[in-house]
Amino acid sequence: MQFRPPQYMSAQLEVETGASVLDGEILAEKASALGRTGREVERSLQELSDCEAGSPERDPLVRAAADAFFNLMVQRELCGLRNQQDVIALYGVPKEVLVRVGAR
């Protein structure tokens, strides 16, 4: 005779395999990288907003913000998040940064 636990207990009794542990670590690293990239975008956009419009230091700040935002878009796509419009609105990414990235 074979013992079969109730369904509500079956999730608790699952044995973790090496693959499931690795999958969990990969997901955790993706989330961590996404957070780091988002903080970098926030920092670079703050530096850009603190700079005056006609300042000679503005162009390097626009480039840095565009690089950070591009990295965030790539990281989001790797996580399966394809809609970038929400992020553009959330961070308030200026048009000059979007033009440099090539976003629509």
Confidence of residue 77 (pLDDT cuts 50, 70, 90): very high
Residue 32, domain member (yes or no) = no
Residue 70, domain member (yes or no) = yes
Residue 100, domain member (yes or no) = yes
Residue 23, domain member (yes or no) = no
First to last CA, the chain: 63
**How many independent structural domains does the chain possess?**
1
- Distance CA(38)–CA(12), nearest Å, equals 35
Number of H helices, E strands in the chain: 5, 0
User: Per residue in 91-104, pLDDT tens?
Assistant: 999 999 999 998 65
Residue 13, domain member (yes or no) = no
- Distance CA(31)–CA(46), nearest Å, equals 23
User: Per residue in 26-38, pLDDT tens?
Assistant: 888 999 999 999 9
Domain of 59, in residue numbers: 38-104
CA 72, 73, 75, 81 torsion: positive or negative?
A: positive
Residue 71, domain member (yes or no) = yes
Residue 2, domain member (yes or no) = no
Residue 65, domain member (yes or no) = yes
- Distance CA(103)–CA(19), nearest Å, equals 36
